[in-house]
């Protein structure tokens, strides 16, 4: 399944509500949630879903919970915790309802899950998520490979999901993630007009936001800026997140191009874990640690403690020994004398 995510381009999304103490391993950590922190960009962590679905081994429920604890302790404000899909297709996601319940203990944390259809959406609603993301592929070939539905059929699913939401849980947000927006390893070129049309159609069908995903890692910065500008011209503030892959080393550059086009929400995966199992060769999500460092070094507040974020790699490494973990910032360390923007101006 594809990934996507998350909020629009408001520059201050976050007002944390409480101080919580959690146990991570044997060390209690203070967790700052949404009522004291103002941010300029929102980094949405998708590793527990997009990362783990691409790993052959299945992380235990307890290990997932420990990882999420560490992410929240670092100041992550939005997490895609899993997907409501058939466990036969993705056994790694079989415990998503349990993970949702665990994540809901943190006031102010936005708990998201991916759903491919109305059945999955019902499960997500029952579990109590705050937001669902729906993969809607701009490539017809990828849509059939990923969710076994045409683009029009996926638009119909959005309408069904919106109706369920309106009837049962009107507070839940729906984002249509326009996957393969910048090219497809199956189909090849994806026309920009098709992407803009699909983003508009998804909003008309009932989605609150439409974001763009470089599912296959084929995007370049000029293309990213151009296409996000086109989508924003069509749907305005309903333009959603940028979900970039680092397959060809352009992940951070593409995020910066999206920022220049007005995007303020970015998907990333701790240690660069993940990709798309239904897009051949689509390896490598943007590394959360590197993306956070880039924005903080630019003077843009993420609300994230970089050192604590790097430490959040430990439960991941312990749960998946031998799994490659990526990231230039964790390998190099923070520069001498570096002070993050969040530390300088994160308190209102």
When comparing pLDDT for 186 and 220, which is higher? 220
Is residue 214 in a domain?
A: yes
pTM score of the predicted model? 0.88
Q: How confident is the model at residue 147 (pLDDT cuts 50, 70, 90)?
A: confident
Tens-digit pLDDT profile for residues 1-12: 333 333 333 333
How high is the pLDDT of residue 126? 98
Q: Is 184 annotated as catalytic?
A: no
Please report the pLDDT score of residue 347 as a whole number. Answer: 41
Backbone angles phi, psi at 307, to 5 degrees: -65, -40
Residue pair 227/212 in contact (Cβ under 8 Å)? The answer is: yes
The backbone torsions φ and ψ at residue 94, rounded to the nearest 5 degrees and listed phi first, read -65, -25
The total number of structural domains in the chain stands at 1
Mean predicted confidence (pLDDT) in 19-24:
36
Q: What is the pLDDT of residue 243?
A: 97
Q: In this predicted structure, what is the pLDDT of residue 56?
A: 87
Looking at the domain assignment, is residue 158 inside a domain?
yes
Residue range 315-334: average pLDDT?
Answer: 94
**Domain assignment of residue 7, yes or no:** no
Residue 2 lies in a domain: no
Domain hosting 232: range is 16-345
Backbone angles phi, psi at 293, to 5 degrees: -60, -45
Q: Give pLDDT, residue 123.
A: 98
Q: Cα–Cα–Cα angle for 216, 136, 163, nearest 5°?
A: 160
Q: Is residue 282 part of a domain?
A: yes
pLDDT range class, residue 274, cuts 50, 70, 90? confident
238 in a domain, yes or no?
yes
- What CATH number has the domain bearing residue 194? 3.20.20.70
- Is residue 26, in this structure, part of any structural domain at all? yes
User: Exactly one of 174, 276, 300, 312 is catalytic; which is it?
Assistant: 276
% pLDDT > 70, the chain: 86
Within a domain: residue 8?
Answer: no
* Entry field: residues in the chain: 348
Hey, how many other C-beta atoms are within 10 angstroms of the C-beta on 86? 12
Pick from 337, 312, 244: nearest CA to 43? 244
**pLDDT over 70 (residue 28):** no
**How many Cα atoms are found within 13 Å in the side-chain-facing hemisphere of 64?**
28
Task: Residue 201: count other Cβ atoms within 10 Å of its Cβ.
Answer: 18
**Which is higher by pLDDT, 157 or 148?**
157
Q: Are 39 and 292 in contact (CB under 8 A)?
A: no
164 close to 125: Cβ distance less than 8 angstroms: yes
Residue 284 is predicted with a pLDDT of: 81
How high is the mean pLDDT of the chain? 88
């Amino acid at each position: 399944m594809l990934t996507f995510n998350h909020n629009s381009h408001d520059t201050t999304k976050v007002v944390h509500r409480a101080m919580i103490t959690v146990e991570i391993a044997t060390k209690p950590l203070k967790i700052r949630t949404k009522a004291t922190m103002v941010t300029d960009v929102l980094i949405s962590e998708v590793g527990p879903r997009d990362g783990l679905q691409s790993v052959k081994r299945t992380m235990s429920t307890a290990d997932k919970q420990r990882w999420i604890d560490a992410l929240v302790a670092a100041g992550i404000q939005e997490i895609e915790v899993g997907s409501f899909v058939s466990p036969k297709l993705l056994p790694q996601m079989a415990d998503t309802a349990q993970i949702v319940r665990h994540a809901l203990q943190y006031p102010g944390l936005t708990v998201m899950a991916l759903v491919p259809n109305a059945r999955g959406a019902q499960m997500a609603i029952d579990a109590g998520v705050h937001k669902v993301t729906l993969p809607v592929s701009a490539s017809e070939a990828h849509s059939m490979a990923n969710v076994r539905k045409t683009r029009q059929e996926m638009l119909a699913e959005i309408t069904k999901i919106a109706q369920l939401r309106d009837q049962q849980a009107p507070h839940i947000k729906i984002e249509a993630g326009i996957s393969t927006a910048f090219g497809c390893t199956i189909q090849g070129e994806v026309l920009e007009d098709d992407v803009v049309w699909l983003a508009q159609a998804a909003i008309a069908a009932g989605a609150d936001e439409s974001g763009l995903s470089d599912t296959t890692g084929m995007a370049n910065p000029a293309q990213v800026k151009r296409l996000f500008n086109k989508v924003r011209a069509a749907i305005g503030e309903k333009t959603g997140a940028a979900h970039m892959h680092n397959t060809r080393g352009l992940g951070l550059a593409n995020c910066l191009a999206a920022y220049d086009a007005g995007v303020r929400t970015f998907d990333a995966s701790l240690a660069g874990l993940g990709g798309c199992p239904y897009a051949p060769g689509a390896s490598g999500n943007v590394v959360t640690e590197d993306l956070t460092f880039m924005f903080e070094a630019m003077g843009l507040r993420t609300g994230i403690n970089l050192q604590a974020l790097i430490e959040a790699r430990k439960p991941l490494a312990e749960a998946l020994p031998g799994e490659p973990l990526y990231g230039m910032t964790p390998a190099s360390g923070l520069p001498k004398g570096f002070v993050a923007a969040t530390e300088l101006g994160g308190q209102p």
